[in-house]
């Protein structure tokens, strides 16, 4: 081919280049996949990261080649013409392909959509390639920390749309603007910039745009100072609505990109693939596993990337969302205002402060929650964290490195604070938990929480309950936490005082809040504005047992609500039924879990309550690894209906709590649960599973065949010096090893022979290790005419104090 042929048809040259690149690019991709699959040997995390970035760029190049060939093939009449492309969607795609490079060079890219134009006559492949070329040119010739703007507006004449790409770069001299679109021409400013190029990109743009009946021009950007390229594109003729009734080209803006937002975006695209979905996230990290941060701090999760990626190991960054999910992501961008009348959201780019409006047909608020810090604890001192994001996690890891922080105080004994305790203790820190409520873990009743406190103290953790932190001490770095009772020394402080829903954006827009202070959302996740939805930690939900609004934020709830919102945004009618307050966490080798009502909650809801404490091994006693499981059931005394369950101990509590949750949701009674056909094998449960055993104890208690007293009640009676007899029916050897205060030892095997040693005019509380032998002992006593007999439920295993005689 001669140069004049290239001048007449730059697409021919582009096609030649694309054909030449296709084979080597595919070969490079195959080689990269082999190395990433570790077929050539193991990779270190830095090596894998570099190769994955190279592989992503290779995939982009291959996709560009494919698009180029598709454009030329269609233009030559050898394939059906592509359907008209959505301009806004293509603009987002072009933005996403360059956002990483722009961020690396600290170039702010503002997307300003003045008019959401309909489809244009170009096909999607051609339009994306054109916009990619113009935007790539702007970024290439813009200096570091510069500015680029992508603006979509109505065209200069009816039936057209306009795209302007302006920058603060080197510009195009006025005398050379007529030649800038000629093949192989490079402006004088480009030639002296040391930026690589051959001068074919803009020639290609001009050829494609003019072939579609549009125009392209360049001028000087009035406000940014560099070049301003303007593309005018004809709009495609309107087509009849599709018979499905689903709105074509639905525009959805999602504010929040951690859990509910990405979940909703993925579902919307699966249901309506042609939807224009934009996620606005003020942070730089998307869809990260926040619940895994304690394990990252402790070192159980060694690579931060594991928290930022899915099960397949792919990091969920803006490129992933675009290439895999076809979702546009604007991270490091804050949503500042919702214009409900104009159905648009004003957003601000954190890098350059540029603002623009995003139009929407449906809006989803997934703004999450923020750590609550009491005014008295707000500080600029170093080594004070809330563990609310990757930055805090990295800060805590840094403070713990090389034994820099030895005394750590956690203010708050809720889930977050407790989850961090193990991570800190395993790093060698001395940990103190300060909790202003009577006990830690308010998700548990006091008797179960006492068992967890006992376990924490056994691992060297100091628990200071009923105490409020009133201030922080230090000059540059924190040195202590003050309370009414004194000062606790601290090299590191973690404020785990709870979270508050991020509702400022919703409030400013006039959306209703619920009684919990979170955004009010119905079962369809709709807010008080039917075109705006809310999901995740910013939204309240309904408690399934009371039917009343509640605020119980969890990542699992956010994911489910995000899915429900997505289905309804896409035209469905799915409802979220609410939550049961199910929670679980790990405390050293203990599991802590609950679901349904706690004891006090059940009474406040109007139930006459019966409770049961039961202890037992989580599998057959002869199986290695069998662990003790301590369970509490809350039951309606009149109906026998299960209302709540709590569990702790080293045994497998998770599956028992999950079964209990389903039983509560189904309205089952302890009779139903006692006969549940649960899977059995010695490796997974005893013949009578822990939950079934607890249900049987509850049945006996409700039927009057069993009289129980809790360890806490026993402790209170002993503290009042009541004349009760603590009858320990364990073996003499067990009794000598540890026993309750003032207990009397009569082994179960000798009880019938020694009944005469026991008084009949005093209350007798029968005790053993977990309650089974005590129950047998109580039956012997009752058969012998003893009337004032009770079994200490759960046995010594559930005694609230660690110290025994």
CA distance 224 to 526: 41
Burial class (CB in 10 A: 0-12, 13-18, 19+), 177: middle
SS3 content of the chain, % helix, strand, coil (to 5): 35, 25, 40
Give yes or no: 291 in active site: yes
Q: Hey, is 346 helix, strand or coil?
A: strand
Beta bridge partners of 586: 591
8 Å CB contact between 153 and 202? no
Q: Hey, is 7 helix, strand or coil?
A: helix
8 Å CB contact between 112 and 150? yes
Question: DSSP states of 25-81 as a string?
Answer: HHHHHHHHHHHHTTTTS---HHHHHHHHHHHHHHHHHHHHHHHHHHHHHHHTTSSPP
Helices (H), 114-166: 124-140
Cβ neighbours, 10 Å, residue 555 = 16
DSSP letter (8 states) at residue 274: T
Helix H, strand E, coil C: the string for 721-790 is CCCCEEEECCCHHHHHHCCCCCEEECCHHHCHHHHHHCCCCCCEEEECCCCHHHHHHHHHHHHCCCCCEE
DSSP letter (8 states) at residue 477: B
Catalytic residue among 58, 291, 538, 768: 291
CA angle 733, 765, 699 (to 5 degrees): 110
Q: Hey, is 251 helix, strand or coil?
A: strand
Query: What stretch of H or E contains 602?
Result: helix 599-604
Helix H, strand E, coil C: the string for 639-701 is CCEEEEEEEEECCCHHHHHHHHHHHHHCCCEHHHHHCCCCCCCCCCCCCCCHHHHHHHHHHHH
Closest among 259, 273, 288 to 565, alpha carbons compared:
259
Cβ neighbours, 10 Å, residue 601 = 19
Helix H, strand E, coil C: the string for 367-398 is CCEEECCCHHHCCCCECEECCCCHHHHHHHHH
CA distance 359 to 343: 6
Spatial neighbors of 779 by CB under 8 A, at least 6 apart, are none
CA 494, 496, 497, 498 torsion: positive or negative?
A: positive
Residue 391: phi and psi, rounded to 5, are: -65, -45
Residue 434: phi and psi, rounded to 5, are: -105, 120
8 Å CB contact between 190 and 170? yes
Q: Which residue has the tokens 């579902």?
A: 267
Cβ neighbours, 10 Å, residue 466 = 11
Closest among 63, 64, 59, 60 to 14, alpha carbons compared:
64
DSSP letter (8 states) at residue 417: H
Largest CA distance in the chain: 119
Beta bridge partners of 478: 474
CA distance 559 to 416: 19
CA distance 71 to 93: 17
CA distance 170 to 151: 20
Residue 444: phi and psi, rounded to 5, are: -105, 155
List active site positions. 291
């Amino acid at each position: 081919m001669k140069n004049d042929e290239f001048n007449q048809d730059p697409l021919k040259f582009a096609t030649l280049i694309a054909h030449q690149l296709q084979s080597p690019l595919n070969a490079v991709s195959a080689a990269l996949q082999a190395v990433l699959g570790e077929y050539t040997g193991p990779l270190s995390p830095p090596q894998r990261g570099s190769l994955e970035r190279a592989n992503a760029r290779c995939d982009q190049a291959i996709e560009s080649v494919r698009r180029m060939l598709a454009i030329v093939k269609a233009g030559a009449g050898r394939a059906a013409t592509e359907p008209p492309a959505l301009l806004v969607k293509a603009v987002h795609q072009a933005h996403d392909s360059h956002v990483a490079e722009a961020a690396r060079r600290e170039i702010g890219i503002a997307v300003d959509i003045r008019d959401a134009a309909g489809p244009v006559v170009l096909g999607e492949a051609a339009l994306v390639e054109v916009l990619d070329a113009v935007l790539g040119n702007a970024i290439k010739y813009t200096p570091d920390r510069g500015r680029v703007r992508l603006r979509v507006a109505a065209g200069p004449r009816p039936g057209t749309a306009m795209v302007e790409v302006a920058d603060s770069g080197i510009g195009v001299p006025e005398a050379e603007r007529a030649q800038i679109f000629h093949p192989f021409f490079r402006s004088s400013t480009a030639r002296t910039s040391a930026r690589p190029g051959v001068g074919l990109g803009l020639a290609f743009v001009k050829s494609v745009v003019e072939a579609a009946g549009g125009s392209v021009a360049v001028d000087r950007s009035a406000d940014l100072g560099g070049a301003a390229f303007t593309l005018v594109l004809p709009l495609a003729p309107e087509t009849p609505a599709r018979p499905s009734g689903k709105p074509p080209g639905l525009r959805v803006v999602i504010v929040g990109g951690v859990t509910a937002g990405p979940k909703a975006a993925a579902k919307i695209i699966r249901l309506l693939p042609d939807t224009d979905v934009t996620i606005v996230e003020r942070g730089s990290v998307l869809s990260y596993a926040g619940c895994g941060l304690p394990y990252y701090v402790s070192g159980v999760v060694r690579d931060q990337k594991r928290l930022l990626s899915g099960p397949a190991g792919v990091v969920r960054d803006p490129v992933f969302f675009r290439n895999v999910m076809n979702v546009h992501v604007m991270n490091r961008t804050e949503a500042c205002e919702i214009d409900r009348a104009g159905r648009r959201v004003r957003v601000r780019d954190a890098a350059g402060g540029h603002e623009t409006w995003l139009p929407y047909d449906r809006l989803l608020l997934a703004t999450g929650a923020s750590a609550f810090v009491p005014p008295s604890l707000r500080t600029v001192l170093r080594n004070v964290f809330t563990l609310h994001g990757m930055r805090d996690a990295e800060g805590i890891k840094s403070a713990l490195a090389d034994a820099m922080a030895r005394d750590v105080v956690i203010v708050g004994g809720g889930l977050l604070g407790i989850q961090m305790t193990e991570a800190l203790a395993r790093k060698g820190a001395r940990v103190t938990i300060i909790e202003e409520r009577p006990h830690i873990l308010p998700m548990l009743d006091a008797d179960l929480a006492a068992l967890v406190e006992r376990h924490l103290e056994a691992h060297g953790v100091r628990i200071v309950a009923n105490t409020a932190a009133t201030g922080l001490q230090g000059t540059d770095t924190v040195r202590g936490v003050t309370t009414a009772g004194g000062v606790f020394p601290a090299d590191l402080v973690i404020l785990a005082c709870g979270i508050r829903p991020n509702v400022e954006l919703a409030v400013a827009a006039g959306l209703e809040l619920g009684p919990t202070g979170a955004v009010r959302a119905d079962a369809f996740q709709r807010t008080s504005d039917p075109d705006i939805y809310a999901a995740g930690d910013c939204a309240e939900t309904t408690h399934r047992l009371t039917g009343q609004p509640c605020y119980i934020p969890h990542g699992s709830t956010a994911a489910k609500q995000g899915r429900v919102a997505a289905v309804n945004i896409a035209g469905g009618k799915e409802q979220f039924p609410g939550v049961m307050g199910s929670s679980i966490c790990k405390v050293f080798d203990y599991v802590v879990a609950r679901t349904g009502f706690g004891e006090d909650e059940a009474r406040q809801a109007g139930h006459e309550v019966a409770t049961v404490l039961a202890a037992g091994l989580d599998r057959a006693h002869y199986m290695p690894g069998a662990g003790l499981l301590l369970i509490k059931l809350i039951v309606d005394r009149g109906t026998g209906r299960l209302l709540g369950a709590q569990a702790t101990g080293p045994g497998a509590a998770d599956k028992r709590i999950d079964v209990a949750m389903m039983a509560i949701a189904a309205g089952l009674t302890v009779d139903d649960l006692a006969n549940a056909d649960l899977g059995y094998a010695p490796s997974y449960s005893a013949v009578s599973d822990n939950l079934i055993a607890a249900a049987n104890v509850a049945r006996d208690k409700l039927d009057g065949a069993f009289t129980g007293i809790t360890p806490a009640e026993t402790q209170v009676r002993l503290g009042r010096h009541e004349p009760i007899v603590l009858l320990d029916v364990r073996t003499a050897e067990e009794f000598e090893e540890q026993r309750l205060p003032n207990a009397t030892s009569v082994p179960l095997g000798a009880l019938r022979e020694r009944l005469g040693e026991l008084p009949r005019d005093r209350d007798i509380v029968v005790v053993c290790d977990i309650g089974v032998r005590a129950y047998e002992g109580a039956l012997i006593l009752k058969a012998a005419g003893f009337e004032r007999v009770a079994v200490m439920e759960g046995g010594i295993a559930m005694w609230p104090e660690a110290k025994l005689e």
